Amino acid sequence: MEYSTYGRHVVMDVWGVSFDMLNDVHYLQKIMVEAAEKSHATVLSVSFKEFEPCGCTILVLLSESHLSIHTYPEKEFAAIDGYTCGKDKDPRLAIDFLIDLLQPKELFIKTLIRGRKEIDIID
């Protein structure tokens, strides 16, 4: 079997998300796994780190790559990214699911198309 090098990497910064939501590592783990499942990706594992006095990092390792979030609750900010290899899994589905749940006041998204020599950026 030959595999494609094509991949989509969606990066997103969200602002204006509640402190409590961004500081709840258990809730965020749950929705990150649900988001990965929405993109039809295969979840292999979930790792997280809670920081003092607040914030967390969560990594959902996928067979197709990863989905991650790094939170700064005190600034109502999170950096989120999702990358999937191949054309049959779509990380944007995961990102859109997270937008619906987090309800940020502002968001900034870029999609990178990778694995084709040049990295294309889609606004």
1 belongs to a structural domain: no
Tell me the CATH number at 58.
3.60.90.10
26-73 pLDDT, tens digit each: 999 999 999 999 999 999 999 999 999 999 999 999 999 999 999 999
Choice among 9, 39, 56, 85 that is catalytic: 85
Active site residue 85: yes
31 belongs to a structural domain: yes
The answer to whether the CB of 46 falls within 8 A of the CB of 16 is no
Looking at the 3D structure of the chain, how many domains does it have? 1
Nearest to 78, CA basis, from 30, 32, 117: 32
**pLDDT > 70 fraction of the chain, expressed in percent and rounded:** 98
Active site residue 65: yes
56-68 pLDDT, tens digit each: 999 999 999 999 9
Quote the CA–CA distance of 89 and 5 in Å, as a whole number.
13
75-87 pLDDT, tens digit each: 999 999 999 998 8
> Rounded to two decimals, what is the model's pTM?
0.93
2 belongs to a structural domain: no
Q: Which domain holds residue 103?
A: 7-122
28 belongs to a structural domain: yes
Choice among 26, 65, 66, 68 that is catalytic: 65
Please state at what angle helix 91-102 crosses helix 25-38, rounded to 10 degrees. Answer: 140
